[in-house]
Structure 1
Amino acid sequence: MISVVILGAGNVATHLFKAFNTANNVSVNQWFNRNISSIFQYKNEVDITDDLSLLKDADVYIIAVSDDAIAELSKQLTFKNKLVVHTSGSVGIYDIDKKQKRGVFYPLQTFSKDAEMDFKNVPICIETIDKKDYHILKELAISIGSPTKKVNSDQRRVLHLAAVFVNNFTNQLYRIGHEITESEGAEFDLLKPLILETANKIQELSPYMAQTGPAKRHDKKTIKKHLKSLENDHHRAIYELLTLSIQQTHGRKKL
């Protein structure tokens, strides 16, 4: 049985708690958050606290807070020589205070509190300084059904950067597409099969080979029509930038 204490109450912390709380060989000893009201609804399922000095003993302390708060929170922990990990893709392992055994337990997935999450689809990227700690974190990930991958800091950094492109930026493009369809009363839902097919296609093809569209084909007339139709300058600038990027990738350099 691996015992854990969760620190933080955001999307990642909430989903980890739910996963750990139903795992057979994991015990969530405590859940900390500075604003205890954020986790008060779970008070009948786990011991909750807003006082760092009252943290219980555990095998692993998981810091799941905003990136900027990780280092400071780790410094405020009153104990020493415990395995303390964070869940960030971009924060260094050495940002955790040196009085602790340090590690990273990075779930490479997008999390929303109200969306169900199957951890079988959440690869956990693990980084530790001590090999013994790696095996504990790997067992912890396996206990919730997650595939695991041992990574170093540089690999984790570029994975997180790439994730911003394929998830956060892509979602913003969905939002722009939604705005464009709404402007003429068209149904955004008609685009959902296309979105799914685009995602499914790269399971078999590289993104380079999967690329289609007017930019790749260099359909000048279509591109000009699209640009003329875009009344929002911000949307037009994004269209031009991405068109140029596709053309440069596929041997075209002019709109």
Structure 2
Amino acid sequence: MIRVVIIGSGNVAQHLIKAFAKSSIIEIVQAFSRNKENLTNLIDSSKIATDLNALIDADLYIISVSDNAIAEVSHQLKVENKLVVHTSGSIDMIDLDNKNPKGVFYPLQTFSKNAAVNFDVIPICLEAENIEDYKLLETVAKSISDKVFNINSNQRKALHVSAVFVNNFVNHLYKIGNDICKENNIPFEILQPLIQETANKITSLSPNEAQTGPAKRNDSQTINSHLQFLTDENQKEIYKILTKSIIDNGKKL
């Protein structure tokens, strides 16, 4: 069994604990949380540490805390010459403290505490300083996911920026669409099949091939009509920026 310590109690940490609990080769020997109650529904309370100085021996220590706290937590660890990794998409591996071998175990997915996920299809991006540590991370990752990738820090940063565009920004556009529907007494659920079909299309088409709409057609009459309809200046500005980007992209092709 590979002995693992999870450091953190947020969304990613909690989902990792759930996933590892189903693995036949992983043993979660301990988890760290400043508040025990955050994890007592997932792991026996005797295995929850509230003091970083109390961490026990393990093969792998996974730091799953906010990006701003990763470096500080890695410096506070008393363990030495043990593989320590973080789960962030935007923090370099080199930001971890030098007293331990370093790595990254980055599951690329959006996590909410109360929303179940299928870890089998979640891409896990790995990085390590040496081949032996990478092999250990690969074994751990493949025990919970069928999609494991060797991704360096620069590539991971590019992935994280891309993820913000396709996930966080797109979700904000859903919010804007929902707001417009509410203002006009329209059920947002009418748009949900369209949202699903758009997401499904890019599994078989490139985003360029899947693009439709007035900006793609450079339909100035419809575009101007939409801009006249919108009363919120922020919505108008977003509409203009995205429309220009789509039109400019078409000119490059």
Report the TM-score range of the alignment, normalised by the length of the smaller protein.
over 0.9
Residue 2 of structure 1 aligns with an amino acid whose one-letter code is: I
Aligned to 2:119: 119
On the 8 A contact 1:70/1:86 being kept in 2, the answer is yes
Q: Distance in 2 between matches of 1:45 and 1:32?
A: 11
Residues 1-150 of structure 1 correspond to what in structure 2 (within 5 A)?
1-44=1-44, 47-150=47-150
On the 8 A contact 2:60/2:84 being kept in 1, the answer is yes
Uncovered stretches (5+) of structure 1, i.e. residues with no partner: none
Aligned to 1:192: 192
Aligned to 1:203: 203
Report the CA distance between 1:41 and its aligned residue.
Answer: 3.2
Report the CA distance between 1:49 and its aligned residue.
Answer: 1.2
Q: Distance in 2 between matches of 1:168 and 1:46?
A: 37
Q: Distance in 2 between matches of 1:2 and 1:43?
A: 17
Deviation string, structure 1 residues 151-208 (Cα, Å, up to 9, x no partner): 1111111011101100110111111111111111111111111111111111111111
Deviation string, structure 1 residues 4-25 (Cα, Å, up to 9, x no partner): 0001111100000000012111
Residues 203-242 of structure 1 correspond to what in structure 2 (within 5 A)?
203-242=203-242
Q: Distance in 1 between matches of 2:68 and 2:54?
A: 23
Q: Distance in 2 between matches of 1:127 and 1:93?
A: 8
Deviation string, structure 1 residues 47-68 (Cα, Å, up to 9, x no partner): 1011111111111100001101
Report the CA distance between 1:40 and its aligned residue.
Answer: 3.3
Q: Distance in 1 between matches of 2:73 and 2:146?
A: 27
2:135 is the counterpart of 1:151 = no
Report the CA distance between 1:46 and its aligned residue.
Answer: 6.3
In the superposition, relative to structure 1, how do residues 226 and 83 fare at CA in structure 2: closer, same or farther (>3 Å)?
A: same
Secondary structure of the equivalent of 2:102? Answer: strand
Uncovered stretches (5+) of structure 2, i.e. residues with no partner: none
On the 8 A contact 1:28/1:46 being kept in 2, the answer is no
Residue 201 of structure 1 aligns with an amino acid whose one-letter code is: K
Superposition CA RMSD, Å: 1.3
In the superposition, relative to structure 1, how do residues 45 and 144 fare at CA in structure 2: closer, same or farther (>3 Å)?
A: farther
TM-score under structure 2 length normalisation: 0.96
Q: Distance in 2 between matches of 1:198 and 1:79?
A: 48
On the 8 A contact 1:31/1:46 being kept in 2, the answer is no
Report the CA distance between 1:242 and its aligned residue.
Answer: 0.3
**Percent of residue pairs bearing the same amino acid type:** 51
On the 8 A contact 2:215/2:247 being kept in 1, the answer is yes
Report the CA distance between 1:43 and its aligned residue.
Answer: 4.8
Q: Distance in 2 between matches of 1:46 and 1:136?
A: 26
TM-score under structure 1 length normalisation: 0.96
Residue 240 of structure 2 aligns with an amino acid whose one-letter code is: E
Secondary structure of the equivalent of 2:251? Answer: coil
Q: Distance in 1 between matches of 2:77 and 2:196?
A: 44
Q: Distance in 1 between matches of 2:121 and 2:111?
A: 12
